[in-house]
Amino acid sequence: MLASKRILLGITGGIAAYKTTFLTRLLIKAGAEVRIVMTESAGHFVSPLTLATLSRHEVLTDFVREEDGATDWNNHVELALWADLMLIAPATANTLSKMASGTCDNLLMACYLSAKCPVFFAPAMDLDMYKHPTTRTSLEKLEAFGNTMIPATSGELASGLEGEGRMAEPEEIVRHLEESLLARLPWRGKHVLITAGPTFEPIDPVRFIGNHSSGKMGFELARAAASWGARVTLVSGPSQEQANHPLITCLRVQTASDMLEAAQSHFSDADVVIGAAAVSDYRPAETQEQKIKKTAETLRLDLVKNPDIIQTLASGKQGQFVVGFALETENEEENAREKLRRKQLDAIVLNSLRDPGAGFGGDRNKVSFIDKNSGIKSFELKSKADVARDILREIDARISK
């Protein structure tokens, strides 16, 4: 859940600040990008140099910085807009009070007041401070603002006392962030079935019928759906692409028949089905057991039609939203609409090989999304990652009605 997330970590002046070295390391290992803002007093408890080394970013403590006679400023608005989430840990009683009242007397508070992203905070203080009415009031106000508290735990405190007020351990903070982010994702609990890549239909042990599909579009769709919290089953033909995400199960197949069998076995419990694979339309009627020798001037192959995977799946749908792809070279929209109707799809994604920069192998694509109610939305040439998000947004707008 934290992979590729941009996290703004705010550290305040409490003994628990020493744990932020471990916390930063865990966030980085989870795939997040971390930038750190510290209060001046936090520097008494943990070294900015250590945190800068771990985060691979300069640690910021003040609005203004001077280097080699030049004066620059740290833009708190820019920092706040950069972040996907903000985490303040430890959050001392003093900082909690400032957050609740809107007191803005340091860079960290300016970032907090500018933040439009989800804000998490992990209180840390002695037990009497944690239970004091003013602290409880601050906590209630912050949660009323929509901020998320990562509760303090009980244990040995810096004062030598035992009780509540100890900052949650770094592992617990990371787990809390992941669970909270997952709960906020729009497709949490959904199952998405995606086909991707080409299929290879063997002629003999060394030759096959295939196409130039790289599988990139299907894999980007899988990543986008997983980033929205969906459980993804990705059935891929031969492709060099990788799907390294805990919510993606990638099933590798070779032929159209293999792909259909794998897709059918996961179709019944799918909520959304996207057929992004470039399936070979035909296969050899017979596969030769031995390599065909080059003896004649010509070679004749008898071909038979492969099953239409997305049409076969759509014919048995029971509430699934089924989306196909149409790669066309002429009469693009007309042909796409005909496929949409004939295959009983809910929507079809049209892309044309005539669009410069779009199509097989590249990192960009230009598509139009057409639904069964004749609605069409066309997009500009974009990266395939952006195209995948556009497609999911169009699907979500229709299944959320």
- Torsion angle defined by CA atoms of residues 236, 358, 352 and 309, in that order, rounded to the nearest 10 degrees: 0
Per-residue pLDDT, 73:
67
Statement: residue 400 has pLDDT above 90: no
Dihedral sign (CA 254, 256, 257, 261): positive
The pLDDT confidence band at residue 70, using thresholds 50, 70 and 90, is low
pLDDT of residue 358: 58
In this model, does residue 69 exceed pLDDT 70? no
How large is the average pLDDT for residues 302-330? 94
Q: CB atoms < 10 A from the CB of 297, how many? A: 5
- Of the pLDDT bands very low, low, confident and very high (cuts 50, 70, 90), residue 130 is very high
Query: Of 75, 211, 244, 306, which is the active-site residue?
Result: 211
Rounded to the nearest integer, the mean pLDDT of the chain is 92
Q: Which residues carry a binding-site annotation?
A: 281, 291, 307-310, 325, 339, 343
Annotated active-site residue 244? The verdict is no
Query: Which domains does the chain carry?
Result: 6-184 (3.40.50.1950), 191-399 (3.40.50.10300)
Q: What percent of the chain has pLDDT over 70?
A: 95
pLDDT digits (tens, 9 = 90+) for 46-68: 999 999 999 999 999 887 766 65
Residue 240 confidence (pLDDT) above 90: yes
262, HSE (Cβ side, Cα atoms, 13 Å): 22
Residues making up the annotated binding site for CTP are 281, 291, 307-310, 325, 339, 343
Average pLDDT (116-130) is: 95
Question: For the residues 350-362, what does the mean pLDDT come to?
Answer: 68
Chain centre to alpha carbon of residue 146: 23
Q: What confidence score (pLDDT) does residue 64 get? A: 74
What is the predicted pLDDT for the residue at 291?
A: 93
Range with lowest mean pLDDT among 73-82, 318-327, 370-379: 73-82
Q: Report pLDDT digits (tens) over 21-38.
A: 999 999 999 999 999 999
Q: Of the given ranges (73-87, 162-176, 273-287, 374-388), which has the lowest mean pLDDT?
A: 73-87
| Residue 215 C-alpha from the chain's centroid | 18
pLDDT of 128 > 80? The answer is: yes
Q: Given this model, what pLDDT does residue 355 score? A: 63
Please give the single-letter amino acid code of residue 46.
Answer: V
pTM of the complete model beyond 0.75: no
Position 352 pLDDT exceeds 80:
no
pLDDT digits (tens, 9 = 90+) for 187-216: 999 999 999 999 999 999 999 999 989 999
pLDDT at residue 244 greater than cutoff 90: no
E strand or H helix that includes residue 335: helix 332-342
Among 6, 4, 67, CA closest to 35: 6
pLDDT band at 296 (very low <50, low <70, confident <90, very high): confident
Q: Say what the pLDDT of residue 360 is.
A: 64
Given this model, what pLDDT does residue 328 score?
80
| Residues above pLDDT 90, as percent of the chain | 79
Alpha-helical regions (H) of 146-255: 170-184, 216-227
**What are the tens digits of pLDDT across the range 135-175?**
999 999 999 999 999 999 998 888 888 889 999 999 999 99
Is residue 218 over pLDDT 90?
yes
pLDDT the model gives residue 359: 59
Q: What is the pLDDT of residue 66?
A: 61
d(CA 196, CA 239): 9
Contact 9, 87 (CB under 8 A): yes
- Report the candidate in 88, 85, 156, 105 with the shortest Cα–Cα distance to residue 127: 156
